[in-house]
Amino acid sequence: MRITKLYKLTSVALMVTLLLFTIAPLQVALAAPLLDKSDTMTSLKVDTPSDHSIVFRTPSGVHATTSTITVTFPAEFAMGSVAFGDMELDHSAGGQSSCDGVAFSNSETLAASAGVGEWGVSVSGQVITFTPPTDATTDEIANNACVRINIGDTNKITNPDTADNYAIAIAGGFGDTGDIYIIILDDDQVLITATVDEILTFTISENEITFGTLSASTDRYADATSGSDTEVTAHNLIAGTNAVGGYAITTIGNTLTYGSTTIDAIGNISAASATGTEQFGLRMEASGGEGVVSAPFATTAEFAFQADTLQEVASSAVSSADTTYSVRYLANIASNTPAGPYTATLTYVATATF
């Protein structure tokens, strides 16, 4: 009889205990896995200092002073002298569905230890700990917010001296955890080579120009069609080079000639047009690049030319993008200049100084 009562009493006690667990189950806080994890480094090369830009999305967020965030580097990384002054902690203004293209608009103030409105940052061995401000409250970092931790400024963390895969662990009192895997390479650079040859470009826009019919009462200027009574550009010389010493353009040729008859060249001292007096000459204007017109061909409204003499007409003292030289030619005759078809041939040569 006593045995029966004891059995019943034990059964009742067990039922009460089960009922209590059913009504009030044990509360256990489970860590959530971090999402959208990445670490963008400035170098993946072995034994090389590198910056780290660590990004993750925290399902649990940070809501209390005890919600620390820790970043643990493998033992093969040399932490050096990194401190809070080499780091930044930013996060999005609220929860996000993804960290792609997100704005890290909230930048936290960091200090050696936590204070009012300041996150504390400490480095112990391989572990960097971020401690929330002493006045941290709910939504210090919102649930599902994207967090970015930048490490590296004056001081940087040095990569392992062995190429391999490594895991950086994110954890702490905020409750979420996750590993970010990175790869360290023997060399992360590609050497690209190229050769630029020494170059001189030189073009003449028109190879045949004419004054048309000359007159003792009118100045005549050459062009590519029939000549002009007003000054015009007959053709362009275009020159450019990568030569460090630049280039020079020279010309040599005869004055206007018909048989044994010639029209006087102006000479190597520039002069203005003198209607009714025999003259043959040219002048230039330069635009673009570093090139300049040489004397005596640079004077506005004055012309020069020394027949059968090599003369420098333009130059650049340094390497230069294309310079366009507009060339103008003048011809005048006297009333007694013999009639006939006159011609002149000028040879232009560009020479670079490499």
Q: For 10-66, what is each residue's pLDDT tens digit? A: 343 333 333 333 333 333 345 699 999 999 999 999 999 999 999 999 999 999 999
Q: What percent of the chain stands above pLDDT 90?
A: 91
Is-cis flag, bond preceding 296, omega within 30? yes
Contact predicate 249/313, CB 8 Å = yes
For position 90, what pLDDT does the model report?
98
Identify the band that residue 4 occupies on the pLDDT scale cut at 50, 70 and 90: very low
What percent of the chain has pLDDT above 70? Answer: 91
What would the pLDDT profile of 64-112 be if each residue is shown by its tens digit?
999 999 999 999 999 999 999 999 999 999 999 999 999 999 999 999 9
Query: How many Å apart are CA 137 and CA 54, to the nearest integer?
Result: 24
- Kindly list the distances between the CA atom of residue 134 and the CA atoms of 58, 142, 145, in Å, as whole numbers in the listed order: 21, 17, 21
pLDDT at 18: 35
As a whole number of angstroms, the distance between CA 156 and CA 111 comes to 18
Percent of residues in the chain assigned helix, strand, coil, to nearest 5: 5, 40, 50
* DSSP per-residue letters across 57-77: EESS-B-STT--EEEE--TTS
Helix/strand/coil for 181: strand
User: Alpha-carbon distance 150 to 238, whole Å?
Assistant: 53
Q: How far, in Å, are 206, 246, 266 from residue 286 at the CA level?
A: 17, 15, 21
Residue among 34, 125, 328, 49 at smallest CA distance from 209: 328
Mean residue pLDDT of the chain comes to 92
Q: What ranges do the domains of the chain cover?
A: 35-184, 200-352
Rg of the chain in Å (alpha carbons):
43
> pTM, whole model, 2 decimals?
0.65
Distances in Å between the Cα of 340 and the Cα atoms of 137, 164, 209, 262, 329 are 104, 89, 17, 11, 19
- The DSSP annotation for 86-123 comes to GEEEEE-SS--S--TT----EE-EEESS-BTTEEEEEE
Residue type, 281: G
Residue 14 has a pLDDT of 35
For 264, which DSSP code?
P
Q: What value, to the nearest 5°, has the Cα angle with vertex 351 and ends 345 and 352?
A: 160
**Of residues 30 and 236, more confidently modeled:** 236
Q: Is the model more confident about 123 or about 16?
A: 123
Its CATH architecture, for the domain 35-184, is Sandwich (2.60)
